[in-house]
A and B are shown apart, each in its own frame.
Chain A
Amino acid sequence: MKNKDTQDLLDLASELRWEVGENFHDTLVEGIYTDAAQIAQKTEIKIGEPNPYSFERKLDRVLTSKKYGFPIMILILSIILWLTIQGANYPSGLLASFFLEFLHPILKTGAFQLGLPWWLDGFLIDGVYLALGWVISVMLPPMAIFFPMFTLLEDFGYLPRVAFNLDSLFKKSGAHGKQALTMSMGWGCNAAGVVATRIIDSPRERLIAIITNNFSLCNGRWPTQILIATIFIGALVPDGFSSIVASIAVIGIALLGVGFTFLSSWILSKTLLKGEVSTFALELPPYRPPNLWTTLYTSLIDRTLIVLWRAMVFAGPAGAIIWLISNIYVSDLSLANITIDWIDDFGLFFGLNGVILLAYVVAIPANEIVIPTILMLTVARLNLMGAGDGVMFELESTTETATLLHAGGWTLLTGINLMFFSLLHNPCSTTIYTIYQETKSWKWTTFASIMPVILGFLVTFLVTQIWQLFH
C-alpha cells in the first residue's frame, strides 16, 4: 500500500513539475535570496564609517591584480623557501651529530656489552635506529620552519587569493576553478587534497582534480626538493647566493608541477574526460590576523609532528629492510647491491641511478623517507657500513651529505633528475588508497598512480638527452 502511495505522490510531483515550468529552480533560489535580503536589511546595523572593509578591498586589489598577483605569489613562496633553506642547515647538522655521531656509538657499545648477537644489533641499531635518526635530522628542521610559515599564510587568508589568481587558468584547462583550492591543499598533503575535491560538484571535473593532485609537491617531498636543490644547485654559485638560487630551483619545480596540473587537466578534458566547464562563485574570505601562538602550536602538532611520526613509522621498517637486504649475501654480493646493479643501467638511462629507483620502491608507503633511504643505500653500497664492526662515518651537515652522494657517483644531472622524479612519480600508498576511496574505481586509481611515473620517466629521459648534447 505504501508503495502505491509513494508512486501516486511521485506522479503528482511530475505532473505539477510540468505546470510549474522549468524555471522552478531559479524561482526557488530567487525566493530564498529575496527573503534573505529582507531579513538582512532589517537586522544589519552599520556603525559609523560608511565603508567597511576598505583596507581589505585595497589589499585584495593588489594581491589579486592581473599585474602583481603572480609576482607577489612567487615572491612570497620564495621568501618562505629561502628562510627554510637558510634556517634548516644548522639545526640539521646539530641533530645529525647528536643522533649519528654521539648516540650511535654509545648504543653500539651498549649492545656489545649486553652481548647482543651481531645480526640483532645490526638490524636494530644500524637498521631501524639509523633510519629514524636520519629521518629526524633531515626532515624535522625544514618542516619546523616551513609549516608554521605556510600555516600563518593560510590562516591569514592568502590561499583563496592564490585560487582566485589561478582560477581563469584552470577554466582554460577545462577544469573547475575550485581545483585551485584542492591543488593548494595538495601542497600540504596529496591525500588531503584528494579528499578536498569533494567541494567540486561535477564528477568529471572532480576526477580531473583527483588525478592531477599528485602534481602538487606535498609535505613529504618539500624537504627532498630543498635538500637536493641545496646540495646540487646551490653549490653551483658562490656561498652568498646559494640559498637564493636553491630556493629559486625549488620554486621552479613547484611551478612546473602547477604547469603539469594545467597541461594534464587540459589533455584529460580534451580526451578521456570531455565536457563543459561549470561555473561557480569563489568567495574571498576576510583577512584574519593569524593567532600566532595557536598557529605555531597547531602547525607543529598537526603538521610537523604528525608528518614526522608518519615518516618514522615507515622509516623504522624501511631501515630494517635496508639493513637486511644489505646484509644478506648471495655469493659475495648483498641483495641490495644485486638489485641496484640490476636496475642501475635502467636508472642511468634516465639520468638517475639504481639507488634512487630502489629507494622509490622502498618509499612507496611514504615520500618522506626517500632521502634517508637513498643515504642508507648509498652507504651500504659503498660498504661504509661494515657488518657487525660498527659504523664510523659522520653526516654533520648538508655538505657531508653532498660528499656522500658524490662518492656514490652522483652528478648535477642526477640531482636535477631526482628533483624532477620527486615531482613526477606515483602517489604514496595513502594517497592511492584515498583515490580509490573517493573514486571507487580501480581504473582511475591505476591511471592516477601510473600516469605520473610515466611522465617522470619521460621528463628525466628528455633532460638526460639534452644534457648529453652539451656534455
Chain B
Amino acid sequence: MTELEACDSCVLNNSAQLLKLGINVENADYVIALAGNPNTGKSTVFNALTGLKQHTGNWPGKTVIRAEGGYRYQDHKMKLIDLPGTYSLLSTSQDEEIARNFILFGKPDVTIIVVDAARIERNLNLVLQILEITDRAVLCLNLMDEALRHHIDIDERTLSKELGIPVIKCSAIKKQGISELISTVHQVATRQIICKPHRIKGLPKSAQKMVDKLDKKIRKNYPGLPNSRWVAIRLLDADADIIKALKNGDF
C-alpha cells in the first residue's frame, strides 16, 4: 500500500484526469452502479469519485435511497448511482428490490461491487448474485487498510481469476486505489476489458438440470439476454417480481 500512497499523491497519476462533477450528471456517456454489502464504505467510494458529501456512517442500512453523482474521465462523462447496501438480492425488502431492479432493468454499463476485504466470504454471497445478473463488473476490495491491520490480506489475482472480473484493492477513506479503480471502470465501460463472470456452480446436478432446461427456453424467447440463467433460477424460486416483469415485457 505504501507504493500506492506515493502514486496517488502524484499529479501525473490517473486522478489528474479525473474531474469530479458532483450532482451534475446530465448527458452521461456511461452509467455506473455502486453495489455492495452494507457498511463496506460504498458511500465513501461514491464521495471519493464524485466529490459529493453523501453522509457516511458506520452501521448497516445507512443508504436506503439511491444517490446519484458524476465524474468525467478521459472525455467520458460517467453517471454514478449509489445503491442501497444489501446482503443479498434474493429477498423482498425494499432496499434489496431497489438494488436488484437497478442492476437488472437499469442495465448499468459497469457495476462496481464494493466489498469489505476483511470479510470476503460473507461479501462474496452478494458478489456471486450480482455476477449472475450482469457481466460487466469491477470488484472494489475496500477497507484494505483495516483488513491488513487485522492481519488479513487478499490474493487479488486469484480472486480476479475466480470471479472473472477485475479486482482493485482500495482504501477509499484514504483515497488509496481510487485512481486505479477509475481507469479500470473506464476500461470495462469502453469494452477494453471483457469480463467472464463466475456463474454459480454449487447447485446439485438435479437442480442444475432444471435450471439449464428453463434457461434454454428463456434464451430462445429472449435472444441476447445476458442473465437468462439467473432469470431461470429466479423463476424456479417463484420470484413474483420476475414473473410480473416477464408478463409486462420488461425484459
How many angstroms from the CA of A178 to the CA of B124 in the assembled complex?
23
B70 within 8 A of A: no
Residues of B within 8 A of A160 (CB): 59-60
Proximity bits, A33-62, B CB within 8 Å = 1, else 0: 111110110111111110011000000000
Partner among B58, B150, B204, B237 whose Cβ is within 8 Å of the Cβ of A53: B150
| Interface size, B (range) | 35 or more
Q: Is the CB of B93 within 8 A of A201?
A: yes
Q: Is the CB of A12 within 8 A of B243?
A: no
How many angstroms from the CA of A285 to the CA of B238 in the assembled complex?
32
Partner among A45, A157, A290, A298 whose Cβ is within 8 Å of the Cβ of B152: A45
Q: A28-B203, A39-B162, A45-B154 are in contact. Are A16 and B236 (CB under 8 A)?
A: yes
A274 within 8 A of B: no
How many angstroms from the CA of A17 to the CA of B214 in the assembled complex?
10
| Distance of A180 from chain B, by nearest CB (Å) | 11
Which of A99-107, A191-199, A265-273, A354-362 has 4 or more CB atoms under 8 Å from chain B?
Answer: A191-199
Q: Is the CB of A45 within 8 A of B153?
A: yes
Kindly report which residue of chain A lies nearest to residue B213, judged by CB atoms.
A16
How many angstroms from the CA of A45 to the CA of B94 in the assembled complex?
36
Q: Is the CB of B202 within 8 A of A33?
A: yes
Proximity bits, B108-129, A CB within 8 Å = 1, else 0: 0000000000101110110111
Proximity bits, A3-41, B CB within 8 Å = 1, else 0: 001101110110011011000110111111111110110
A288 within 8 A of B: yes
Interface residues of B in 197-226 (CB under 8 A from A): 198, 200-204, 206-207, 210, 213-214, 217-218, 221
Q: Is the CB of B120 within 8 A of A44?
A: yes
Describe A's contact surface by its main secondary structure. helix
Q: Is the CB of A29 within 8 A of B90?
A: yes
A66 within 8 A of B: no
Partner among A8, A46, A198, A301 whose Cβ is within 8 Å of the Cβ of B94: A198
How many angstroms from the CA of A404 to the CA of B46 in the assembled complex?
50
Residues of B within 8 A of A49 (CB): 151
B235 within 8 A of A: yes
Q: Is the CB of A31 within 8 A of B203?
A: yes
B84 within 8 A of A: yes
A200 within 8 A of B: yes
Q: Is the CB of A31 within 8 A of B200?
A: yes
Q: Is the CB of B121 within 8 A of A37?
A: yes
| Distance of B215 from chain A, by nearest CB (Å) | 11
How many angstroms from the CA of A159 to the CA of B219 in the assembled complex?
47
A279 within 8 A of B: no
Q: Is the CB of A13 within 8 A of B236?
A: yes
| Distance of A370 from chain B, by nearest CB (Å) | 26
Q: Is the CB of A35 within 8 A of B146?
A: no
B82 within 8 A of A: no
Q: Is the CB of B60 within 8 A of A283?
A: yes
Q: A33-B202, A35-B202, A36-B128 are in contact. Are A199 and B154 (CB under 8 A)?
A: no
Partner among A6, A32, A195, A281 whose Cβ is within 8 Å of the Cβ of B64: A195
Q: Is the CB of A47 within 8 A of B203?
A: no
Q: Is the CB of B151 within 8 A of A2?
A: no
Q: Is the CB of B210 within 8 A of A16?
A: yes
B10 within 8 A of A: no
Residues of A within 8 A of B56 (CB): 155, 298
Residues of A within 8 A of B246 (CB): 6, 9-10
A154 within 8 A of B: yes
| Interface size, A (range) | 35 or more
Q: Is the CB of B153 within 8 A of A47?
A: yes
Residues of B within 8 A of A53 (CB): 150
Interface residues of B in 55-69 (CB under 8 A from A): 55-61, 64-65
B24 within 8 A of A: no
Q: Is the CB of A10 within 8 A of B243?
A: yes
How many angstroms from the CA of A49 to the CA of B149 in the assembled complex?
11
Residues of A within 8 A of B214 (CB): 9, 12-13, 16
How many angstroms from the CA of A40 to the CA of B146 in the assembled complex?
17
Kindly report which residue of chain A lies nearest to residue B84, judged by CB atoms.
A198
Q: Is the CB of B202 within 8 A of A31?
A: yes
Proximity bits, B148-163, A CB within 8 Å = 1, else 0: 1011111110110011
Q: Is the CB of A40 within 8 A of B55?
A: no
Q: Is the CB of A48 within 8 A of B146?
A: no
| Distance of B60 from chain A, by nearest CB (Å) | 6
A345 within 8 A of B: no
Q: Is the CB of A48 within 8 A of B207?
A: no
Q: Is the CB of B237 within 8 A of A25?
A: yes
How many angstroms from the CA of A302 to the CA of B155 in the assembled complex?
38
Q: A196-B61, A283-B38 are in contact. Are A9 and B217 (CB under 8 A)?
A: yes
Residue in A17, A32, A200, A288 with the greatest tally of chain B CB atoms within 10 Å: A32
| Distance of A64 from chain B, by nearest CB (Å) | 14
Residues of B within 8 A of A198 (CB): 64, 84, 93-95, 98
B182 within 8 A of A: no
Q: Is the CB of A200 within 8 A of B59?
A: no
Residues of A within 8 A of B163 (CB): 39
How many angstroms from the CA of A290 to the CA of B235 in the assembled complex?
44
Q: Is the CB of B210 within 8 A of A30?
A: no
| Distance of A74 from chain B, by nearest CB (Å) | 20
Q: A20-B206, A40-B121 are in contact. Are A181 and B61 (CB under 8 A)?
A: yes
| Distance of B141 from chain A, by nearest CB (Å) | 10
How many angstroms from the CA of A151 to the CA of B151 in the assembled complex?
28
Residues of A within 8 A of B236 (CB): 13, 16-17, 20, 24
Interface residues of A in 187-239 (CB under 8 A from B): 195-196, 198-201
Interface residues of B in 161-205 (CB under 8 A from A): 162-163, 173, 198, 200-204
**5 A-B pairs in the complex with CB atoms less than 8 angstroms apart:** A12-B217, A31-B207, A151-B57, A159-B58, A285-B38
* 3 A-B pairs with least C-beta separation: A31-B202, A40-B121, A36-B124
Known pairs A198-B95, A286-B150; list 15 more (Cβ under 8 Å). Answer: A13-B214, A25-B237, A27-B207, A28-B233, A29-B90, A32-B128, A33-B125, A36-B121, A46-B151, A47-B153, A196-B61, A198-B84, A198-B94, A283-B87, A302-B53
